[in-house]
Amino acid sequence: MRKLGQVVIKQFGVFGSILILGTVGYWVVFMIVLPQLIMLDYSFRPFLPLRKMGGPEDIYTLKNYIVLFTNEFHRAIFIKTIWASVIVTVSALFVCYPISFYLAKVAKGARFSLVLLGLIVPYWINELLRIFAWQLILADTGIFNQLLLSINLVADPINFRAGNGAVIMGMVYAYILFMVFPLYNAMESLDRNQIDAARDLGASWPRIHKRIVIPHAKPGIAVGCIMTFMLAAGSIAAPQLLGSPSSFWFTQVIYTNFETANWNQGAAYSMVLAGLCLVFIFSMMKIFKVNLRDIAK
């Protein structure tokens, strides 16, 4: 820490260092730590009318957390959200892996710029507008259904929004950059000579990816999976706009609690979701055998 402070002072001077470190410290304390502590405090307190707050009934309790395990509807939504978020993460990995490899080791010059622009330009538009666009694409009279009807693959329009399909597709698209760039960053540092040497020795492309590319890209895979899962599990716009009553998301349950002024229950559910994300982070680190230093790269 002292060494880091000396580097910052040397780079930006005393005044600049105080400004930078003060801004970062303010952001961490007042925008991250303090709100989380307040949320944690709310989660252990019962939902009471304003006149009873601070009274003898206002005690710390686990009741708000126990509700999740006793309410079958909320428990089912919570499990469904975890499973659907895993599907979103795995789907994004399968979609983004070849794109990242192409950008890192195949595309050069104009092709690299064209693919990169194709990925980035749509994100100049607000996320809500992009999700609304998916509403139009997946509608009964949307592009997908019109294409399927025109080639006679289906007799009637498919209701893509009946289950979780539309939500998963929308999320994979919405968070594609959060998977592509960590993978690209990891693959870009791989020495191309290793791949060429393996090809010269007769290794197939699946074997090259299994033995060379994927082991080297493990930190990028871990970061991409962590970011995509956390964004999917915490999303509310995509389930709200692309989902149906049967595709209710756990974040919608949390939002409903806050909207009905039951902040205590909403805070407890938020803490459970945050705890789940932490478990997922450490699980990815364990599975891919990486540490925080590897991820930071």
User: pLDDT tens digits for 35-49?
Assistant: 889 999 989 988 877
- Confidence band of 267 (pLDDT split at 50, 70, 90): very high
Position 288 scores a pLDDT of 84
Predicted local distance difference test score (pLDDT) of residue 88:
94
Per-residue pLDDT tens digits for 78-125: 999 999 999 999 999 999 999 999 999 888 888 898 988 888 888 888
Q: Which two tokens stand for residue 227?
A: 């970011």
Whether residue 202 is contained in a domain is answered as yes
Continuous segment of H or E residues that includes residue 68: helix 63-70
pLDDT at position 162 is 75
Task: Name which of 27-36, 64-73, 96-105, 237-246 the model is least confident about.
Answer: 237-246
**Is 50 within a domain?**
no
- CATH code of the domain containing 141: 1.10.3720.10
User: Would you tell me how many other CB atoms lie within 10 Å of the CB of residue 245?
Assistant: 6
Could you tell me if residue 16 is inside a domain?
Answer: no
Q: pLDDT tens digit string along 239-254?
A: 888 877 777 889 999 9
* Section 188-193 average pLDDT: 88
Q: Is residue 176 part of a domain?
A: yes
CA nearest neighbour of 259 among 273, 280, 240, 243: 240
Is 71 buried (19+), middle (13-18) or exposed (0-12) by CB count in 10 A?
Answer: middle
**Which tokens belong to 95?**
């979609």
How many other C-beta atoms lie within 10 A of the C-beta of residue 284?
A: 20
Residue 121 per-residue DSSP state: G
Residue 130: inside a domain: yes
Residue 231 has pLDDT above 70, yes or no: yes
pLDDT score of 3 more than 70: no
- Give how many domains the chain has, as a whole number: 1
pLDDT at 128: 82
Q: How far apart are CA 63 and CA 119, in angstroms?
A: 46
Give the integer Cα–Cα distance in Å for 238 and 248. Answer: 11
291 in a domain, yes or no?
yes
Give the structural domain span for 260.
Answer: 67-296
Predicted confidence band at 179 (pLDDT cuts at 50, 70, 90)? very high
Is residue 199 in some structural domain? yes
* Alpha carbon distance 43, 272 (integer Å): 10
pLDDT band for position 7 (cuts 50, 70, 90): low
Residue 255 pLDDT exceeds 60 = yes
Both tokens assigned to 193: 């000579």
The b-or-e profile of 227-236 (16+ CB within 10 A means b, else e) is bbbbbbbbbe
Does residue 29 lie within any of the structural domains?
A: no
Instruction: For residue range 192-212, list pLDDT tens digits in order.
Output: 889 889 888 888 888 989 999
On the question of pLDDT at 190 being above 70, the answer is yes
